[in-house]
């Protein structure tokens, strides 16, 4: 009985130590013969437990099983009322984030709206998996996995900062396992820049760090510089407040990012760079680039190439890979809760966006769980889920169906019971 789990005892030569050791061994053998669960680390607590405690534990487990079955019965009724029998498996929700809203707030609002619609299906999935797979032969489903199935798994893909607006995408359930298939596409932006001033973040909300004249800037000069130096393969130095990894961690996580003397330029690809509107000091652009480039830094470098400075005042993402703003729904806090019954109509399956990208079968199917529960009801294990009113109604229907013969038999039975109650006491009763 040697091992790290053995409780610390005095030397074996002491009489009380031998007595204590014998008591523990006797308790171990007593409960082990009854095939109760006892493991090594719990050995020192066996001496304080009795057979009654173990029976109480078994009753608690049986009660828990009964409660799970009752919850499953209620979940089946709610699912049938709602009409949504299954949680979306591998879907995306495309949202149009307004300017000024943080991505985390949009994510929480959308998650609450989806969870309220899918609550009956989530509840049914939770209890169905618990009863069908947990601690069953050949099943690897763990308790912490079952607990997480009560909640909807939603994740935001490539969030936008608060100053930007446009397309953001939410991955639902197993869509989060194939994100790498959707993250390699290009992005399209509509940008508005103001020439003459520059900030430390290259955005409107930053501190002004530079001021230059822009009288010499014309529409032709802007288009010429864009065509010659900012189209195709370019090299770009990332901003100092970005999440690009430098010295083992993001630049913005350094204590003094401005003291990093040298930042290496990274290659990027600009597919199109169009000048859509020129009203100095404001100029509007439409840019299509890959995900490695920073649009605000691109505008900053363009202004320096024109011997002036600029910062971004408006930034809107109109497309990210296969996700377009035309397919998005407004992500305002007032709009999402009002879409509760219709929000499922805007979900897009991964195979509808990229055909054949998701072909993984569900490892824990529960499509037959309703039939499984109904079979259990027929075997008699589900009779306790019937209400008393339903039982009374069934008995009344049975009497009506059988006719006057059944009522006469029931009347005779009541008369016999009354006569048995009014019988005279026997000799044994008198003696007592």
Looking at residue 216, which CATH number applies to its domain? 3.30.2350.10
Q: Is residue 425 part of a domain?
A: no
Q: Are residues 173 and 193 in the same domain?
A: no
- pLDDT above 80 for 166: yes
- Do 278 and 335 lie in a common domain? no
Same domain for 132 and 252, yes or no, is no
Give the least confident one: 92-106, 311-325, 401-415: 401-415
Give the residues across from 269 on adjacent strands: 233
Give the model's pLDDT for residue 135. 63
29-86: pLDDT as tens digits:
444 444 344 444 444 445 455 667 777 878 887 888 788 778 778 888 888 888 787 8
**Please, are residues 214 and 221 in contact by the beta-carbon 8 Å criterion?**
no
pLDDT(321) > 80: yes
- pLDDT at res. 406: 39
* Residue whose token pair is 């390699």: 184
Task: Indicate the pLDDT class of residue 313, thresholds 50, 70 and 90.
Answer: very high
Q: How confident is the model at residue 375 (pLDDT cuts 50, 70, 90)?
A: low
7 belongs to a structural domain: no
Q: What mean pLDDT comes out for the span 281-295?
A: 93
Mean pLDDT, rounded, of the chain: 75
Q: Give residue 97's pLDDT band: very low, low, confident or very high (50, 70, 90).
A: very high
Looking at the fold, whether 212 and 289 belong to one and the same domain comes out as yes
Backbone angles phi, psi at 275, to 5 degrees: -100, 110
Angle of the 388-402 helix axis to the 404-421 helix axis, nearest 10: 110
Domain-embedded: residue 242:
yes
Better-predicted residue by pLDDT, 219 or 147: 219
Distance in angstroms (rounded) separating the CA atoms of residues 30 and 33: 6
Q: Is residue 176 part of a domain?
A: yes
Structure tokens at 27: 């308790």
SS3 203: strand
pLDDT value of position 243: 77
Domain end residue (candidates: 268, 298, 320)? 320
pLDDT on residue 416: 40
Q: Do residues 263 and 302 both lie within one domain? A: yes
**Domain-located, residue 19:** yes
Q: Is the pLDDT of residue 138 over 70?
A: no
pLDDT tens, position by position, 397-430 = 444 444 444 344 444 434 443 443 444 444 334 3
Taking 80 as the threshold, does the pLDDT of residue 114 lie above it? yes
Query: What is the rounded distance in angstroms from the CA atom of residue 72 to the CA atom of residue 367?
Result: 14
Q: Which residue has the tokens 């359930």?
A: 173
Residue 405 placed within a domain: no
pLDDT of residue 19: 59
Most confident of 131-135, 318-322, 392-396: 318-322
pLDDT, tens digit, 9 for 90 and up, residues 221-230? 999 999 999 9
Residue 190's DSSP bridge partners are: 286, 316
- On whether both 129 and 235 belong to a single domain, the answer is no
Domain membership flag for residue 77: yes
pLDDT at residue 378, as a whole number: 61
401 in a structural domain:
no
Task: Supply the range of the domain harboring residue 45.
Answer: 15-49
Is the pLDDT at 432 greater than 60? The verdict is no
Whether residue 85 is found in the same domain as residue 139: yes
More confident residue, 123 or 57: 123
d(CA 248, CA 154): 29
Structural domain count, the chain: 3
Say yes or no to pLDDT of 192 above 60.
Answer: yes
Residues 194 and 281: beta-carbon distance below 8 Å: yes
| Inter-residue contact 239 to 202 (CB < 8 Å) | yes
pLDDT at 51: 66
């Amino acid at each position: 009985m040697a091992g790290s789990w053995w409780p610390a005892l005095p030397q074996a030569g002491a009489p009380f130590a031998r007595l204590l050791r014998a008591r523990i061994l006797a308790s171990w053998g007593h409960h082990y013969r009854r095939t109760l669960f006892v493991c090594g680390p719990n050995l020192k607590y066996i001496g304080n437990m009795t057979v009654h405690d173990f029976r109480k534990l078994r009753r608690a487990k049986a009660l828990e099983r009964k409660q799970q079955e009752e919850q499953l019965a209620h979940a089946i009724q709610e699912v049938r009322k709602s009409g949504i029998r299954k949680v979306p498996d591998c879907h995306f929700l495309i949202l149009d984030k307004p300017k000024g809203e943080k991505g985390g707030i949009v994510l929480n609002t959308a998650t609450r709206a989806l969870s309220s619609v899918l609550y009956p299906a989530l509840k049914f999935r939770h209890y169905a998996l618990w009863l069908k797979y947990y601690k069953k032969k050949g099943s690897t489903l763990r308790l912490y996995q079952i607990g997480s199935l009560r909640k909807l798994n939603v994740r935001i893909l490539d969030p936008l900062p608060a100053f930007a607006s446009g397309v953001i995408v939410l991955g639902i359930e197993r869509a989060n396992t194939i994100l790498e298939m959707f993250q390699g596409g290009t992005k399209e932006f509509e940008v508005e820049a103001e020439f003459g001033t520059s900030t430390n973040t290259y955005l409107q909300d930053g501190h002004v760090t530079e001021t230059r004249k822009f009288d010499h800037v014309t529409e032709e000069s802007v288009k010429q510089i864009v065509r010659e130096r900012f189209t195709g393969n370019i090299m770009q130095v990332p901003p100092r407040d970005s999440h690009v990894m430098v010295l083992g961690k993001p630049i913005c996580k350094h204590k003094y990012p401005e003291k990093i003397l040298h930042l290496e330029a990274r290659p990027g690809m600009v597919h199109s760079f169009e000048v859509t509107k020129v009203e100095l000091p404001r100029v509007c652009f439409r840019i299509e680039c890959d995900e490695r480039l920073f649009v605000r830094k691109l505008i900053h470098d363009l202004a320096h190439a024109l011997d002036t400075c600029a910062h971004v005042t408006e930034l809107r993402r109109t497309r990210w890979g296969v996700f377009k703003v035309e397919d998005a729904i407004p992500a305002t806090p007032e709009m999402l809760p009002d879409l509760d019954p219709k929000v499922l109509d805007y979900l897009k399956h991964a195979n509808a966006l990229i055909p054949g990208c998701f072909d993984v079968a569900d490892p824990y199917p529960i499509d037959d769980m309703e039939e499984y529960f109904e079979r259990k009801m027929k075997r008699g294990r589900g009779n306790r889920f019937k209400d008393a009113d339903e039982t009374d109604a069934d008995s009344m229907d049975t009497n009506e169906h059988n006719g006057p013969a059944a009522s006469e038999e029931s009347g005779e039975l009541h008369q016999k019971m009354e006569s048995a109650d009014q019988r005279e006491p026997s000799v044994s009763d008198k003696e007592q």
